[in-house]
Structure 1
């Protein structure tokens, strides 16, 4: 049976999810996970930040970690997606001061812990701990009534009292006459009064020593070790992030029974901010580690053979997890990654082209594979061929990456492509570490059109200067494949370092010495 006529295969590939948070089956996530050494580095009690671009597998790693922790005694893990926080109107009201906006976020975070902790208490039969859990919630819901100002006023009131009367007087004389008159009198009284006016408001305020103490009493009472796994940190407003980091630090870091793990995008994270009295938020490296970057694990050009094998395992596990038990083995005699590649692809070079096209991003790998499978099916091929991979990679670049670039990003990317590919027929370049935080480099990197293949390279020609080595995304030059303009002067074997060539890899592969200057990054938008 052909893999393209097999209804089970078709259904399985169409159902492959490229986002771990969409999966409700934790065991399915575990079944499709390929660990290249990441989980052992975070399965510990240290507070840690896990970096990685979108699609690199941060959520998948956290979910697998949560599953591993669930098997340990006296341990509970709670997964929190920051995109679900911010229920209060304060969160989005720019008129509200940042600390107050952050206060609503922190309350949402603590409230997100309640139900998982309650379930843990019920499962453990630790009813007395419930009172402590309620006290934790009460400690963050406390409001403070306070008098803003007091004013005492004195005033005098003058009131007037008027008395009116009339008088008619008759006189009898030699000349009869009648005379009349009207008279009135006014009396004044003065009254002094004193009054006090007070401005009163109900203010929200968190007493962090109290919150810390309540959490400590709770974790000691069970007892248990609690892991808080915070995902999508970069979705929070940039200016609020240091304040939330400060709140988390004050509430949790001093408790030896609580561990914080945070997954985020490096260049969209703002964990600390310098203020007059020191640092607001986390002190990276001392209070929380930030040394794990998932992007470093799947860089194709750093170790092509290992990455190719890892991606073959990832693909096979994703397909197999959605098929009837042993379907691949009984129908196609697929028992290994090599069998999978041999059955699904026209040859090994076609699969390597797919791995190269994904540029180390698992989400891109899955999406290009899905497109290539159905493209080959439409073309009535017997297996996925290189043409289908190239066309699918080009479509994915246009539909997912290119559309997210604004005019300024497009302008700079075009200039880099012209300099590196157009003039030098290469696809990699060096950029001084001083330019690593350039906004345009960060934005192009986050958009997955630039990829870092080595950090901190020391060039012998320019001693004392450190460089990052970047490579352009496959989609930026895929239309040049099999033409005379295709980049072909990178990652050769056996070259010696010269003024034109550097050898940054242990396996002696070389790349052209192309050093980009800041003027390309600062170029104005075209048109």
Structure 2
């Protein structure tokens, strides 16, 4: 009897644990595949990020892939709509033909730029039309009239390019003398003599160079003012996502449209989500500039990557990710088991063995999408058991090989750079953190490419050396996936000492006697001269 009861209890426990793991595996990987209500209820803000994002200032939201930019904008859209304002969310990947016409190098930049601006305004108009049809607007007739004006103004937007100028100057001089005799006699006599001299001088000056553009906006600003006036007292929030999907050379043109015709309009807040190193908002142009000047035209640029850098000694990272998993998996689990976990702490205790969740947070390196994917793979490995450290490490290895390393297969210089850094930092120094001179690594594109690929993680910007205050350094960490294989095989000689823990501490101050110059990685010595890439292996 007792044996049967124990067997039944074990079966129930296995079934419950399997449901917990299934809930982790069912967490959506991308925000756009989730409905707005779920996005609003599952969102977890890091620190003061939510309050900063909710300000009425124009802002650029930077973040690498997987840091939650889309989720943040959609959460903001739901939030401002519930307060009575009007959000207009535009995914720039889906407007017009972003992958075709805009990237077609056979067309002139003027043509591509004009189509981009018109298509963007058309997308905004369609969203506003939905608002007019579905929302209770104080003055719907005025809004519809303003939207008609917006359509007319949008078609008047044009990008004009100038690439060649020609100047001609010249003079013509003519002088002559002639004498003619004529006698009317029967045999006839005619004599003529003359002389004429013509001189022409001409100079031709032809200027050629890089094509420069300016944008003709027409009455677009007036039309937008009419729209915001019709929406009063509601505020218009323009949320532009996936900015970095646009061709780099066209981005300043769209930014210039925003600066001249949208940002000055009262009652409008603009938020743009972009990948920092794949964005160009500003372009100098003949004493003026195209685009948006951050800090002037746009009030601020907010980095989600910076907000996702946690002080591990205070467990802020574990609190954030614990709440993230509970918000996403908790509602699903509530439909699968009786008495589901009541809070994030209870959920983590039930889903993970001791030490495993901390290992997962460490493996995620502050990137929510990586954390979700590693957790799903670990839950798959664990099956009907709580997730342990071994499952986390195996999952991190699988995710690294499947996603991150695979992205480097077509980028041999970046792959080689990563290999040399791992050999030096992990292999020789037995560490995971390192320091680079800001000016020094700016010459190496592969460092930025590894950062964008989430294989290097920027922990702290602008570290000052007291002995050389004019030089600034950045602190980085090697991605967990780069050395997880050593952890899996149980190499007793491998111990990550993390001498650079001070880099991620709240104050970011190195310990007494610490010399930055001794720990800075010598990139020219490691990789070769800038632009040449790493030397042969």
Q: TM-score, normalised on structure 1? A: 0.80
Which of 247, 262, 268 is the matching residue for 2:257? 247
Give the CA deviation at 1:323.
Answer: 3.3
User: Secondary structure of 1:49's partner?
Assistant: strand
Return the alpha-carbon distance in structure 1 between the equivalents of residues 222 and 447 of structure 2: 44
User: Secondary structure of 2:356's partner?
Assistant: helix
In the alignment, structure 1 segments of 5+ residues that lack a partner are: 145-204, 494-500
CA 521–254 in structure 1, closer or farther in 2 if over 3 Å, else same:
farther
The answer for the alignment partner of 1:105 in structure 2 is: 116
The answer for the alignment partner of 2:497 in structure 1 is: 489
User: Secondary structure of 2:219's partner?
Assistant: helix
Query: Aligned pair 1:386/2:389, yes or no?
Result: yes
CA 429–301 in structure 1, closer or farther in 2 if over 3 Å, else same:
farther
Which of 466, 470, 483 is the matching residue for 1:464? 470
The answer for the alignment partner of 2:364 in structure 1 is: 358
Query: Is contact 2:433–2:499 with CA below 8 Å preserved after alignment?
Result: no
Return the alpha-carbon distance in structure 2 between the equivalents of residues 140 and 339 of structure 1: 54
The answer for the alignment partner of 1:272 in structure 2 is: 282
Give the CA deviation at 1:248.
Answer: 1.8
Query: Is contact 1:282–1:288 with CA below 8 Å preserved after alignment?
Result: yes
Return the alpha-carbon distance in structure 2 between the equivalents of residues 30 and 119 of structure 1: 21
Return the alpha-carbon distance in structure 1 between the equivalents of residues 506 and 491 of structure 2: 28
CA 80–64 in structure 1, closer or farther in 2 if over 3 Å, else same:
same
User: Secondary structure of 1:464's partner?
Assistant: strand
Query: Aligned pair 1:368/2:382, yes or no?
Result: no
Return the alpha-carbon distance in structure 1 between the equivalents of residues 283 and 216 of structure 2: 22
In the alignment, structure 2 segments of 5+ residues that lack a partner are: 1-11, 159-213
Give the CA deviation at 1:339.
Answer: 1.3
After superposition, residues 53-452 of structure 1 pair within 5 angstroms as: 53-73=64-84, 75-87=85-97, 90-122=101-133, 123-125=135-137, 126-142=140-156, 207-223=216-232, 224-300=234-310, 305-324=315-334, 330-332=338-340, 334-347=341-354, 349-377=355-383, 382-405=385-408, 406-437=411-442, 438-452=444-458
Return the alpha-carbon distance in structure 2 between the equivalents of residues 29 and 467 of structure 1: 37
Return the alpha-carbon distance in structure 2 between the equivalents of residues 227 and 408 of structure 1: 42
Query: Is contact 2:379–2:387 with CA below 8 Å preserved after alignment?
Result: yes
CA 302–286 in structure 1, closer or farther in 2 if over 3 Å, else same:
farther
Structure index of larger Rg: 1
The answer for the alignment partner of 1:506 in structure 2 is: 507
Query: Is contact 2:60–2:274 with CA below 8 Å preserved after alignment?
Result: yes
Aligned residues: 451
User: Secondary structure of 1:91's partner?
Assistant: coil
Query: Is contact 2:441–2:447 with CA below 8 Å preserved after alignment?
Result: yes
User: Secondary structure of 1:489's partner?
Assistant: coil
Query: Which stretch shows the higher mean deviation, 359-368 or 206-215?
Result: 206-215
Query: Is contact 1:4–1:10 with CA below 8 Å preserved after alignment?
Result: no
Return the alpha-carbon distance in structure 2 between the equivalents of residues 509 and 383 of structure 1: 38
Query: Is contact 1:209–1:251 with CA below 8 Å preserved after alignment?
Result: no
Give the CA deviation at 1:477.
Answer: 0.7
Return the alpha-carbon distance in structure 1 between the equivalents of residues 504 and 13 of structure 2: 44
Return the alpha-carbon distance in structure 2 between the equivalents of residues 240 and 485 of structure 1: 52
CA 335–512 in structure 1, closer or farther in 2 if over 3 Å, else same:
farther
Give the CA deviation at 1:291.
Answer: 3.2
Return the alpha-carbon distance in structure 2 between the equivalents of residues 238 and 218 of structure 1: 30
Give the CA deviation at 1:420.
Answer: 1.0
The answer for the alignment partner of 1:179 in structure 2 is: none
Return the alpha-carbon distance in structure 2 between the equivalents of residues 13 and 65 of structure 1: 25
Give the CA deviation at 1:429.
Answer: 0.6
CA 12–490 in structure 1, closer or farther in 2 if over 3 Å, else same:
closer
RMSD: 2.6
Give the CA deviation at 1:225.
Answer: 2.0
Return the alpha-carbon distance in structure 1 between the equivalents of residues 510 and 329 of structure 2: 34
Return the alpha-carbon distance in structure 2 between the equivalents of residues 303 and 68 of structure 1: 32
Return the alpha-carbon distance in structure 1 between the equivalents of residues 493 and 88 of structure 2: 52
Query: Which stretch shows the higher mean deviation, 290-299 or 359-368?
Result: 290-299
Return the alpha-carbon distance in structure 2 between the equivalents of residues 457 and 3 of structure 1: 50
Query: Is contact 1:31–1:321 with CA below 8 Å preserved after alignment?
Result: no
Deviations 1:93-147 (A, max 9, x none): 3232213211111111111122321232232251232121011011112499xxx
Query: Aligned pair 1:15/2:26, yes or no?
Result: yes
User: Secondary structure of 1:221's partner?
Assistant: helix
Return the alpha-carbon distance in structure 1 between the equivalents of residues 417 and 13 of structure 2: 45
CA 206–512 in structure 1, closer or farther in 2 if over 3 Å, else same:
closer
Return the alpha-carbon distance in structure 1 between the equivalents of residues 521 and 157 of structure 2: 56
Query: Which stretch shows the higher mean deviation, 481-490 or 270-279?
Result: 481-490
Query: Is contact 1:408–1:525 with CA below 8 Å preserved after alignment?
Result: no
